[in-house]
Every structure is written in structure tokens, then in C-alpha cells.
Amino acid sequence: MTVEAKQLSGILPPVPTPFNEQGEIAADKLIKNIKELVRTDLTGFIVLGSNGEYVYLDEDEKLKLCEAAREAIPGDRLLVAGTGTESTRATLRLTKAAAQVGADVAIIITPAYYKPAMTVEALIKHFLTIAEASPIPVVLYNMPAYTGVDLATDTILSLAEHPNIIGLKESSGNVVKIAEIVQGVKERDLNFSVLAGSASFLLASLAVGASGGIVASANVAARDCLELYQTQTRPAEALIIQQRLLPLNAAVTSRFGVAGLKYAMEKTGLYGGPVRPPLLPLAAKGQTEIDYILATIFPAK
């Protein structure tokens, strides 16, 4: 599928990587989860993202997951693969390999280990080198809470000039920054989409021009996230949904992380399974809190 920025809209869940009890990838569970989620109007699916525990995966595991996801995702929905690594060379190699097994788009996080050396010049060269050689479009992934590197607005807009860089997942939570990027894209008439990186600020991001969101909560409450997106022009209705999603989103992201997300998926009929060490399983207290939140959102369950 040839992908343009205009297709990067709506809601896309960053799907967790399912492991079996022996700690190995359970590709069949990924397929089953996606086939259930694809019954909704989700635009596509992110594999190998932060919620996919991508930093703990071997390269062959990453490609196996891409292949499994492609099997489950219809041709009219996007498969977006997280191919960012610490080196430009390795990122480009993985991006090309992901494209060969069916990825439509690569989402690439900022390299961060040599943080002081990740200057504007270094980051621009990194992303432009990849964009020039990538067979599929590239989406920037800004996640300063994890990487400690925050792509500046001017840097993002400079990169957005490249025709093969078609979007941004902005996870900083800085809605003013999102508004500035959207405005800059409009002023320059660029083919570039901005997506909120969390359901916690999804409505605020949509209000300032974001085209959608890549949000963990959509793994558990896809219909609610989609309803929020679809009612954005009716602020009173959308605000009610946004407020309802806030406790869930916090539980499956900042509070309990991937373990919390996987537990919530189990409780809503999908496969969650264990996390990969050194991550720890969700403690009993966290389970109780998530049970309460889910009972509030889905009272019939």
C-alpha cells in the first residue's frame, strides 16, 4: 500500500507483544488480538512500539511479529512497524526488512544512548538518511519521558519537509507544541500528520489540529477512543468520553505500564500474557485498581 500523510488519521493502538509462559513470542496470540480489534474502525496497528517491549526483542523476533501482524491486518488498514534503534545503520536495515514482510510505514524513535551528542544536526542527519533510503514512509516518534531526547518544533518541521517523512507521534504531552507543529505544517503546506501519543491528551490534541492518536488505551477501549475521535466536533460529548478514559489511560501507561496494559487486555477478552524481564508482573494492588476502573467503564462486564 502506498501511504500518504492524509491516511494517518483516526485511532491506532500500539499493540503489546504477546509472550507465552516460557517467555517466547506467541505470534498466534498477536494474530488473534488483532483480528478481534480489527472488527472496529481502527485505522491500523503499531507493532514494535514502546508497549510492544521492542527494546527487549531480538531482530528476528521483530520481523516475526511484523509477519504475524500483516497476516491479521486487512490490506486497507495500516501496519506501522517500530524500527528505531540506536544506530542509523541498524535502523535502516530493520526498516527495509520490515517493509519486505509487509509493513506499510516505519515509526522511528529518537536514538538516545549518547544523549549529549544527539544535537539537532545529528538527529536531522539520522532521520534524513533513513528517509532517503527507506522503501516505506517514515513517522517520527518523540517520547522524551523514555529517551530523554525531545525533538524541538523547528527540528520536526524541518524534517517534515522531506516527502518520505509523513508524520509524528508526539508523546510529550505538550499540547502547545502540537498546536505549533500543526500550524507550521499548514503554513508550509506540508504533507505531514501529527498524532497524539496518549489518550490522556487526545481531545486537547484534536482540538488544536492533530489528525488522530496512537494510544495504548485503544487496545482495551477501542470503541471509546474511536467515539472520542468521531465526536471531536461536539466538545461537550467528547469531553465526557475523554474524562471517562483518563483513569484507564493512566493505569495502562504511567502508573502500571505494559504489565497493567496486558492485565487490562486479559480482563476485556484479549490475550495479555506475561511481560519480559526485567519488567515485573502486575502486583495484586494494581490488579484490583484496574478491575475497579474497568468495572466503571464497562459496567456490563
Catalytic residue list: 169
Angle, CA of 120, 141 and 50, to the nearest 5°: 130
d(CA 213, CA 22): 33
Angle, CA of 232, 234 and 235, to the nearest 5°: 80
Task: Give Cα separations from 31 to 100, 127, 172, 218, 257 (angstroms).
Answer: 19, 31, 30, 16, 22
- Cell 509493513: give the residue: 103
> Element (H or E) spanning 142, and its range?
strand 138-142
One-letter amino acid for residue 94 of the chain: L
d(CA 71, CA 60): 17
d(CA 226, CA 214): 11
12 — phi, psi (to 5°)? -130, 125
Q: Is 199 left (phi over 0), alpha (psi -120 to 50) or beta?
A: alpha
215 — phi, psi (to 5°)? -130, 130
